[in-house]
């Protein structure tokens, strides 16, 4: 069968090279019994490819069933797929055949196969390898002849490396993968799909079909379409029903695009450089917002310190290191004082939303320029005062100074205070 006739039969719209390649691969693999894994984002039409594979295969006269693995509860999925015996669990009032038994000779399409529980994955692997399965609550091995076509929007190999999917099952399912491109990867098909959906809904609702202005077509083509074909179809249906004017311009179209993606959605999927630039812009915006938040936080901290805390000597002494980092002083000699205050050098202002106010620490009790500022002299003086205060009791003096007795003994010897 030719490619164009397959498109017409299964309502596949578009003529981009990527979608054509996926269709040609499906047509080639259909007559075989090779396991096929259809990969692609949600909404790209993976189920349509499973139907193509079934109806072009030797099993086309057999049954076909589509199962969403993520929609079946974990507690009942084994019963749904493989059947159960009477009394095998609460509520099992009679024996029941599973899908693999009822679809014998046909094709089962397992969508979202990455959602299967580990136990079910082991059962599925056994069917793929030798066609055997066991009903829940039974001991008898049964046989089935079913072709399994799977689909996923996840990276199964990555899941297997994380221990969330059996690696042996991954290789068994992916004998021949088919990748269905996202809508943004086939931009030339987007206006064609819009026109098709517009005509379909015009016939359905007995109205005139929609038309796009050139500027609206540019927006439509450059939008990223995270929901792919399903999203495009829903938006066309909304506009078909709600819009009185059947000519859709850019302004009207933008009203129907999700607001959370409208700021970053207008990027050309076919131009890798432009897409890269948008990614960088997003990254820079995140950094800019982070910088702004940090500066806002700094402003709040500075305000609290200035208004409430810097008049408290105990707070200043306890947080001296942090204060000197946040409020750098132009004079290193002023950092050891007790009574500190913050005074702006100039009125605060903002430039590009970044706090640029400069602060300076000053001492209310100015240091005498003739005073001996030697660290050794100050250290000796503090040790003398501690010893005098504690009547020569070295243990108490060391505790008050915040040093060990051994260090105090060494300092007493160093300063010849015996």
Question: CB burial class (10 A; 0-12, 13-18, 19+) of residue 406?
Answer: exposed
Q: Which residues in 36-78 belong to E strands, given as ranges? A: 36-39, 64-68
CATH code for the part of the protein at 375-414? 1.10.10
User: Model confidence over 134-156: pLDDT tens digits?
Assistant: 999 988 999 999 999 999 999 99
What pLDDT was estimated at residue 129? 92
- Residues near 167 by beta carbon (within 8 Å), at least 6 away in sequence: 157, 160, 161
Please tell us whether the domain made up of 184-262 is placed in CATH 1.20.120.450.
no
Determine the average pLDDT of the residues in 387-404: 84
CA–CA dist 317, 323 (Å, integer): 9
Q: Which residues pair with 109 in a beta bridge?
A: 66, 149
User: Model confidence over 58-85: pLDDT tens digits?
Assistant: 999 999 999 999 999 988 999 999 999 9
What tokens does 216 get?
Answer: 């609206």
Q: Model's pTM, two decimal places?
A: 0.60
| DSSP letter for each residue of 189-248 | GHHHHHHHHHHHHHHHHTSPPPEE-HHHHHHHHHS--TTHHHHHHHHHHHHHHH-SSSEE
What pLDDT was estimated at residue 354? 41
- Opening angle at CA 144, ends 64 and 148, nearest 5: 45
User: Model confidence over 115-125: pLDDT tens digits?
Assistant: 999 999 999 99
Query: Taking the CB of residue 89, how many other CB atoms lie within 10 A of it?
Result: 13
Backbone φ, ψ for residue 165 (5° rounding): -150, 140
pLDDT band at 362 (very low <50, low <70, confident <90, very high): very low
What pLDDT was estimated at residue 299? 62
Domain ranges of the chain: 3-181, 184-262, 284-363, 375-414
What pLDDT was estimated at residue 174? 84
Determine the average pLDDT of the residues in 372-399: 80
Q: In the chain, pLDDT over 70 holds for what percent of residues? A: 72
What pLDDT was estimated at residue 74? 87
CA–CA dist 55, 241 (Å, integer): 35
Mean per-residue pLDDT of the chain: 80
Say if CB 147 and CB 106 are below 8 A apart. Answer: yes
Least confident of 82-86, 197-201, 290-294, 297-301: 297-301
- Could you give the 3-state DSSP secondary structure of residue 178? strand
Length reported for the chain: 418
User: Model confidence over 182-193: pLDDT tens digits?
Assistant: 999 999 999 999
Q: Strand 350-351 and strand 354-355: pairing? A: antiparallel
- Residue 252, pLDDT above cutoff 80: yes
Fold of 3-181: Rossmann fold (3.40.50)
């Amino acid at each position: 069968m030719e490619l164009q006739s397959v498109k017409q039969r299964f309502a596949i719209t578009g003529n981009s090279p990527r979608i054509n390649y996926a269709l040609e691969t499906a047509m080639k693999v259909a007559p075989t019994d090779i396991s096929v894994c259809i990969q692609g984002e949600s909404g790209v039409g993976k189920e349509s490819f499973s139907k193509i594979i079934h109806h072009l295969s030797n099993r086309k006269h057999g049954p076909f069933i589509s199962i969403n693995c993520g929609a079946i509860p974990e507690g009942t999925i084994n019963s749904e797929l493989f059947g159960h015996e009477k009394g095998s669990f609460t509520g099992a009032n009679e024996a029941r055949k599973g899908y693999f038994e009822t679809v014998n000779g046909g094709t089962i399409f397992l969508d979202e196969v990455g959602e299967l529980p580990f136990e079910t994955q082991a059962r599925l692997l056994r069917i793929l390898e030798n066609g055997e399965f066991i009903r829940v609550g039974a001991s008898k091995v049964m046989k089935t002849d079913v072709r399994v076509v799977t689909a996923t929007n996840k990276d199964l190999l990555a899941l297997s490396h994380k221990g969330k999917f059996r690696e042996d099952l991954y290789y068994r399912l992916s004998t021949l993968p088919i990748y269905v491109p996202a809508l943004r990867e086939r931009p030339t098909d987007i206006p064609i799909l819009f026109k098709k959906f517009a005509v379909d809904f015009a016939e359905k609702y007995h109205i005139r079909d929609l038309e796009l202005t050139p500027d609206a077509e540019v927006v439509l083509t450059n939008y990223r379409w995270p929901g792919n074909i399903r999203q495009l179809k829903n938006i066309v249906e909304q506009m078909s029903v709600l819009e009185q004017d059947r000519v859709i311009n850019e302004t009207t179209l933008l009203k129907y695009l999700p607001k959370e993606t409208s700021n970053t959605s207008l990027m050309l999927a076919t131009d890798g450089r432009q897409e890269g630039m948008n990614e960088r812009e997003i990254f820079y915006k995140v950094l800019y917002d982070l910088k702004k938040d940090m500066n806002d936080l700094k402003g709040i901290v500075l305000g609290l310190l200035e208004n409430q805390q810097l008049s408290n000597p105990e707070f200043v002494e306890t947080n001296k290191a942090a204060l000197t980092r946040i409020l750098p002083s132009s004079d290193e000699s002023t950092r050891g004082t007790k009574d500190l205050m913050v005074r702006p050098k100039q009125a605060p202002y903002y430039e590009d939303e970044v706090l640029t106010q400069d602060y300076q620490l000053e001492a209310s009790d100015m240091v005498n320029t003739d005073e001996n500022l030697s660290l050794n002299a100050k250290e000796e003086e503090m040790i003398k005062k501690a010893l005098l205060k504690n009547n020569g009791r070295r243990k108490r003096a060391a505790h008050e100074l915040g040093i060990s007795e051994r260090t105090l003994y060494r300092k007493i010897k160093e300063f010849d205070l015996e």
